[in-house]
């Protein structure tokens, strides 16, 4: 099988070397000829141009930078020079829609496109330890599989739809980016708190199975950010941009994306009981802003401020109390710091009453801080004392006793009735 390889960057050079080592007849091309020299010395042929490189190839492998470079490469003479039925295996991290567009272009030209984005760093490429997901026609994926196994320890066909492979790659990338953000925040907190960072690193080493995550944990701890044999920041930012654009198209928010884009350290609290809830997801692009509360239900008699799971309990309580003529406005705090005091004050100005629902302790917790701010900034707005529905001032129990101490629908309804008397 004759193979051509275009794009000998940090990833491409290692992948091409593995293909050559697997005894494929290989022709390589790169705009900077110096990057071709090691492969030429090892026995590969060198193409004088893109068209010259792909003309006799059964499979053309590309390892480029982004959507634009992938589309430009196809339009630069590659498509016209490929022989009928030849396969283009695209390993670049591109957008899902670009993968589908490349497939369409190749089909119209009588050639075949296989999406094959790779996962791993340049050292993994050189060692043949990448992971690759393939999508496209079954026979084409089967034809390129021996090439993929030259540079990947795992190669799987995931779909007929080309975009699926690239969407899966973005899932992996988003997970990695989120964990890198998390590790940086944890190390910063540990340092400021006097926690030995080597102990935090030991935890990460035990917690993560993937070698690359173990490596990132160590690099972040030692502040090894020089990027040697890694990726430039522009490549990482490109991947984050692809993730944001992809979530816009399917209407699923990447909430950690707004955290990553914020230059300040952020702790993201996700209530485990929310994972099983279903609800409306907007189809258009949206980002949940930090420091901006959201009025989930309009009302006129009392304001209920809550967060996380307690927002859903508060909405249920509001619906039940509406049958008794009590109009409840529910405000989702969304972030504790920065906290949107202005939205809360506007709501209380309308209702004159406030109930704060929080799973923290009633003393010294978020609800206590809200009460203090109301006394300082909104005392004249209140017709009744602020009511708190929180965990009582006692040790947090476990097991079934938890149900008697945490805020419940019944406790929220009772507090609302009390403050409205």
Whether pTM exceeds 0.95: no
Triad 13, 17, 22: Cα angle to 5°: 150
Least confident of 75-84, 154-163, 272-281, 327-336: 272-281
End-to-end CA distance of the chain: 83
Q: In the prediction, which pLDDT does 394 show?
A: 79
Between 404 and 226, name the one with better pLDDT.
404
Could you give the domains of the chain? Answer: 2-160 (3.40.50.720), 169-261 (1.10.1040.10), 294-419 (3.40.50.920)
Residue 398 above 70 pLDDT?
no
The alpha carbon of 288 is separated from its chain's Cα centroid by a whole number of angstroms, namely 14
Residue 14 pLDDT exceeds 90: yes
For residue 363, pLDDT beyond 80: yes
pLDDT, position 328: 96
Number of H helices, E strands in the chain: 17, 14
28 Cβ contact partners less than 8 Å away, ≥ 6 residues apart: 4, 5, 6, 8, 16, 36, 39, 40, 44, 45, 46, 47, 53
Given its phi and psi angles, is residue 110 left (phi above 0), alpha (psi -120 to 50 degrees) or beta? left
pLDDT > 70? residue 90: yes
Q: Which has the higher per-residue pLDDT, 149 or 243?
A: 149
Which of 106-115, 116-125, 274-283 bottoms out in mean pLDDT, i.e. has the lowest?
Answer: 274-283
Residue located via tokens 């859903």: 312
Retrieve residue 410's tokens: 């019944």
Q: Provide the token pair at 394.
A: 């006692």
pLDDT confidence of 263, banded at 50, 70, 90?
A: low
Residues 6+ apart with CB under 8 A from 325: none
Residue 298 has pLDDT above 90, yes or no: yes
Tell me: the pLDDT tens digits for 34-85?
999 999 999 999 999 999 999 999 999 999 989 999 999 999 889 999 999 9
**What whole-number percentage of the chain has pLDDT above 70?**
84
Contact 127, 98 (CB under 8 A): no
Q: Is the pLDDT of residue 234 over 60?
A: no
> Is 227 or 64 the better-scoring residue by pLDDT?
64
Amino acid 111: pLDDT? 97
Q: Vertex 207, ends 201 and 209: CA angle to 5°?
A: 110
65 or 26, which is more confident: 26
DSSP state of 323: T
Coil, helix or strand at residue 84? coil
Q: Is 70 exceeded by the pLDDT of residue 239? A: no
Give the lowest-confidence range in 4-8, 121-125, 299-303, 319-323.
121-125
């Amino acid at each position: 099988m004759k193979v051509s390889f275009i794009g000998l960057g940090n990833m491409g050079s290692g992948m091409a070397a593995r293909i050559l080592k697997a005894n494929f007849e290989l022709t390589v091309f790169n705009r900077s000829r110096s990057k071709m020299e090691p492969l030429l010395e090892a026995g590969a042929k060198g193409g004088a141009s893109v068209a010259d490189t792909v003309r006799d190839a059964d499979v053309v492998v590309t390892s480029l930078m982004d959507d634009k470079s992938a589309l430009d490469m196809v339009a630069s003479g590659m498509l016209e020079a490929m022989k009928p039925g030849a396969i283009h295996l695209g390993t670049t991290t591109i957008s899902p829609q670009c993968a589908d567009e490349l497939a369409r272009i190749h089909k119209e030209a009588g050639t075949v496109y296989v999406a094959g984005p790779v996962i791993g760093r340049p050292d993994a490429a050189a060692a043949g330890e990448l992971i690759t997901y393939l999508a496209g026609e079954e026979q084409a994926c089967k034809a390129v599989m021996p090439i993929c196994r030259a540079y990947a320890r795992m190669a799987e066909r995931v779909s007929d739809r080309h975009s699926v492979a690239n969407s899966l790659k973005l899932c992996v990338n988003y997970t990695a980016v989120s964990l890198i953000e998390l590790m940086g925040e944890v190390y910063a907190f540990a340092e400021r708190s006097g926690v030995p960072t080597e102990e935090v690193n030991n935890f990460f080493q035990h917690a993560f199975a993937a070698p690359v995550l173990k490596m990132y944990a160590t690099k972040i701890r030692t502040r090894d950010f020089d990027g040697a044999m890694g990726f430039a920041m522009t490549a990482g930012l490109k991947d984050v941009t692809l993730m944001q654009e992809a979530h816009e198209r399917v209407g699923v928010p990447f909430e950690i994306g707004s955290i990553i884009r914020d230059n300040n350290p952020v702790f993201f609290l996700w209530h485990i009981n929310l994972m099983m809830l279903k609800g409306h997801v907007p189809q258009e692009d949206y980002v949940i802003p930090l420091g901006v509360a959201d009025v989930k239900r309009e009302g006129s008699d009392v304001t209920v401020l809550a967060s996380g799971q307690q927002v859903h309990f508060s909405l249920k309580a509001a619906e039940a109390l509406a049958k008794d003529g009590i109009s409840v406005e529910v405000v989702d705090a969304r972030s504790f710091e920065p906290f949107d005091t202005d939205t809360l004050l506007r709501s209380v100005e309308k209702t004159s009453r406030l109930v704060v629902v929080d799973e923290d302790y009633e003393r010294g917790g978020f609800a206590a801080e809200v009460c203090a701010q109301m006394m300082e900034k909104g005392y004249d707005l209140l017709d009744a004392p602020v009511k708190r529905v929180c965990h009582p001032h006692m040790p947090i129990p476990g097991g079934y006793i938890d149900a008697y101490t945490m805020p419940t629908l019944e406790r929220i309804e009772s507090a609302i009735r009390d403050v409205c008397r």
